[in-house]
Amino acid sequence: MAGTIPRDDMTSFEAVTWFFDQAAERVRCDDEMRELLRRPWRELTVAVPIRLDNGKLKMFTGYRVQHNGARGPYKGGIRYHPRTGLDEVRALASLMTWKNALAGIPYGGAKGGVTCDPGELSTTELNRLTRRFTQNIAHIIGENRDIPAPDMGTNAQTMAWMMDAYGQMFGHTPAIVTGKPVELGGSYGRDAGPGRGLVYCLEEWARLTDYSLQGSRVLIQGFGQVGSWVARLIGSLGCTVVGVSDISGGLFNPRGLDIPKLMEHVGQSGTIAGFQGVEEVSGEEFLQLPCDILVPAAIEGVIHSRNADKIQASVVVEAANHPTTPVGDIILRDRGIALMPDILVNAGGVVVSYFEWAQNIQQFRWEEERVNKELEKIVKGATREVIKLSDREGISLREAAFYIGVERVSRAIELRGFV
Ligand code: NAD
């Protein structure tokens, strides 16, 4: 597959595997090792039947994919989304394998999800769904086996329900999930982790490449857990957020958005729509607005062959997982647009999850200052490694990030000697 020309209609797993294959070629993995690294080690699909509030039974489908466990227990989020399916979960699990290896934290890669629209379910229905899903995957997870976390459509409350459902089966086990509420053993700084990690990563990249962030105009696609934290924190680098979008469309103001006011508005209405004093644009137009830095922080595959040539940013910083298709990636590169890849940029989420897991096992809480300091050390260190390799080999930052991840996982497999 390496050397093949990517297509725009690749599935998410095919696309991530394409990025992997390019790296495996550079790392000079032999064919057997590539097969071991490419394929998920375990995939579980479960029926998740629950009673809705109206008394009717509804069947949902849930997934947990454990992609590679060579470097430690599997780790990765749980997504609730109408389009979630096995292929997407596989792709996201594979990304977790390379991300955890790149960050140097002792985990393999996994991901899970339930095909559902959480916006259409009541709190009690979501609680029941989460409990039943947890029971049905309980035999393959564990604090030393596989540790879920939040992702799109799930949050700290979801993790609290998961912990409780697992605890009812096996006894109180806070380290079974991360991203919990602080009151139940969550870590300070976990909520902000992916956004804060992005800011550290961008800061280090700008320092090493002499890119001036002062006055840079930022567009953020997605205003959820990740995007809203990026919006709150990126101003500390001297940047101005000129636009944000969510599923309802985009908002733009070339002079900058009032983020605290927007947070208040979203807190009340649940969406950015209806925020006053800004220009409203469609989701598709949004990505093509004038800016310096574009932060996709929503879903997969939003930068592709049909819009990559229209993006005006000089830097794309991937907060979401797999927002750029392989064809989109090539177009951006040919246009000289710098791209900071997902497995580096959003690693802050899983790094603070790792701190939470370590705190739960030690039964000892860290102050937020310590969490942020340790996060900065890991994220900036990984950013330096990626930039150094990219410069040395003349490859893109994505290629360098995958190279490091693939090399570390294949080395772990060799050292274990299990095949
Ligand atoms: P979330 O559910 O909290 O928010 C998602 C946001 O994206 C919402 O504002 C939603 O309206 C918006 N959105 C959805 N579809 C859209 C579309 N077509 N166009 C524009 N906006 C759209 O999800 P999140 O946790 O912030 O996750 C966002 C991305 O970040 C995902 O790719 C996820 O895998 C990744 N990520 C999340 C974490 C985490 O800890 N939550 C960590 C690392 C990476």
The arithmetic mean of pLDDT across residues 273-284, rounded, is: 96
pTM: 0.97
- The reply to whether 338 and 249 lie within a common domain is yes
Single residue among 123, 141, 176 that ends a domain in this structure: 176
Residue 113 lies in a domain: yes
| CATH number for 80 | 3.40.50.10860
- The per-residue pLDDT for 8 is 82
CA distances 363 to 94, 165, 174, 175, 208, Å, are: 30, 20, 10, 10, 38
- The reply to whether 198 and 169 lie within a common domain is no
Q: Which helix (H) or strand (E) holds 16?
A: helix 12-27
Residue 402 lies in a domain: no
Radius of gyration of the chain (CA): 20
Q: Residue 228: give the domain boundaries.
A: 193-345
- The reply to whether 172 and 212 lie within a common domain is no
Q: Mind listing the pLDDT tens digit for each residue in 137-146?
A: 999 999 999 9
- The reply to whether 171 and 208 lie within a common domain is no
Catalytic residue from among 99, 111, 180, 380: 111
Q: Mind listing the pLDDT tens digit for each residue in 335-391?
A: 999 999 999 999 999 999 999 999 999 999 999 999 999 999 999 999 999 999 999
Tokens of residue 55, six digits: 């008394």
Cβ contacts of residue 362 below 8 Å, gap of 6+? Answer: none
CB 65 within 8 A of CB 90: yes
Share of the chain above pLDDT 70, in %: 99
Residue 21 lies in a domain: no
The closest alpha carbon to 89, from 30, 135, 133, belongs to 133
Cβ contacts of residue 108 below 8 Å, gap of 6+? Answer: 66, 67, 68, 69, 70, 71, 72, 73, 74, 75, 96, 97, 100
240-246 and 249-252 strand pairing = antiparallel
Q: Mind listing the pLDDT tens digit for each residue in 161-212?
A: 999 999 999 999 999 999 999 999 999 999 999 999 999 999 999 999 999 9
Q: Mind listing the pLDDT tens digit for each residue in 18-76?
A: 999 999 999 999 999 999 999 999 999 999 999 999 999 999 999 999 999 999 999 99
Q: Mind listing the pLDDT tens digit for each residue in 395-408?
A: 999 999 999 999 99
Nearest CA to ligand 1 atom 29: 320
- 111 carries an active-site annotation: yes
| Cα 101 to Cα 94: distance, rounded to the nearest angstrom | 11
Atom of ligand 1 nearest to the CA of 226: 26
The arithmetic mean of pLDDT across residues 304-324, rounded, is: 98
Domain count, the chain: 2
| Cα 195 to Cα 352: distance, rounded to the nearest angstrom | 11
Which of 75, 78, 199, 225 maximizes ligand 1 atoms within 8 Å of its Cβ, making it the mutation to test the pocket?
225
- The reply to whether 138 and 212 lie within a common domain is no
Q: Mind listing the pLDDT tens digit for each residue in 236-265?
A: 999 999 999 999 999 999 999 999 999 999
Atom of ligand 1 nearest to the CA of 302: 18
Which of 152, 284, 286 maximizes ligand 1 atoms within 8 Å of its Cβ, making it the mutation to test the pocket?
152
pLDDT beyond 70 at 1: no
- The per-residue pLDDT for 5 is 87
Residue 26 lies in a domain: no
When the pLDDT of each residue in the chain is averaged and rounded to a whole number, the result is 97
Single residue among 318, 345, 372 that ends a domain in this structure: 345
| Cα 83 to Cα 89: distance, rounded to the nearest angstrom | 10
3: pLDDT confidence band, cut at 50, 70 and 90?
low
Atom of ligand 1 nearest to the CA of 81: 2
